[in-house]
Amino acid sequence: MATAARQSLKIGLIPADGIGKEVIPAARRVLEAIGSDIPKPEFVPLLAGWEVFVRDGTALPEETVEALRECDGALFGAVSSPSRRVTGYSSPIVALRKELDLYANVRPVISVSANPDDKPAVDLVVVRENTECLYVKQEQLVHSENGREARAIRLITERASRRIGKMAFEIALSRPRKQVTIVHKSNVLTITDGLFRETIRQIPSESNGRYDSVKLEEQIVDSAVYRLFREPQIYDVMVAPNLYGDILSDAAAALVGSLGLVPSVNAGDKFVMGEPVHGSAPDIEGKGIANPIAAIRSAALMLRHLGYAAPAHRIDRAVDQVIREGQVLTPDLGGKSSTDDVLNAVLKKL
């Protein structure tokens, strides 16, 4: 997304549930500290989540969606979706992705070495299709002679596959290795995953040479997970349908120490929303020890997609310095520091 001339930057803030209410305010503080490198940020507090559903009967108020349409970007914290079926409830983050056509979930996973001159042992990006697959949530429970049967529809379209593929190729063009790996299971799911694979493989031939410098590979999903843990350095940009991308990006987070380090953005052609990969973490909610780094990095990713690469780099560099020094770390990274301790350390580096 290109930088537009703006007097201010209007950012929707949706802390939602659990530790989202602790890490999103930290990300806001970092954006405020950037200063003149970005237009003056104007923050719009908004509601969504399980707690809102319990109180008001809707997990995603229409007012939130309409307010976001007037924003330049947004930050979403975390949602506490129940594991059981609750009548009338649907995940607000899934709904927002559809309402705002945020068809790509982009999740960079990068390890930080103690030596700033070392190359990262892990440096990859998972590009996850965000609107289809089993996440269309077309499920039904039926009764048969075998008892209850649960059925779900899996949707893969050529349009969605093509545009997520193009997003992956564009990201690869901006990276040194320029490699895209399609992750699929078309040896079994020959129609759905077959369409995803075939559509993305056609993209280079339709690009008038734009992607000639990008190396295209593919990997069966179970093999991809195995090799991700054994040889993460072989991957650069991984592009996958919704469910596989969700699993791959969470698994990749284990390679760098914690989900509390891994950011993401939900991106479309007209809007971008940062979202830390971690969940609502009810076990540590309110204890002040949630790791704010994933939310802070998500704010940097949001800025980068809005065209503000230099301030995004400043934020990432400050976070890297804090992690590298290893003096101020939350418990998920083996430390004893609080959310505010980490935030203040990052602000100091800025």
Catalytic, 250? Answer yes
pLDDT, one tens digit per residue, over 280-308 is 999 999 999 999 999 999 999 999 999 99
Q: Indicate whether 49 pLDDT > 50.
A: yes
Length of the chain, in residues? 350
Pairing status of strand 147-155 against strand 133-144: antiparallel
Q: Which residue is it, tokens 């971690």?
A: 278
Catalytic, 244? Answer no
- Tell me yes or no: is domain 111-261 CATH 3.40.50.1110: no
Catalytic, 135? Answer yes
Options 246, 316, 320, 332, the catalytic residue = 246
Could you write out the three-class secondary structure of 60-124?
CCHHHHHHHCCCCEEEEEECCCCCCCCCCCCCHHHHHHHHCCCCEEEEEEECCCCCCCCCCCCEE
Global pTM exceeds 0.75: yes
Mean pLDDT of the chain: 94
**pLDDT, position 254:** 87
Catalytic, 117? Answer no
CB 132 within 8 Å of CB 157: yes
Catalytic, 332? Answer no
CATH numeric code, 1-102+268-350: 3.40.718.10
The angle, 0 to 180 degrees and rounded to 10, between the axes of the packed helices 293-305 and 309-325 is 160
What's the chain's Rg over C-alpha atoms? 20
Options 185, 236, 244, 332, the catalytic residue = 185
| Whether the domain at 1-102+268-350 and the domain at 111-261 fall into the same CATH topology | yes
Task: Show me where the domains of the chain are located.
Answer: 1-102+268-350, 111-261
Options 56, 118, 222, 269, the catalytic residue = 222
Q: Which of 280, 275, 235 is nearest to 110 (CA)?
A: 235
pLDDT, one tens digit per residue, over 214-265 is 999 999 999 999 999 999 999 999 999 999 999 998 889 889 988 899 999 9
pLDDT, one tens digit per residue, over 79-109 is 998 878 888 998 899 899 989 999 999 999 9
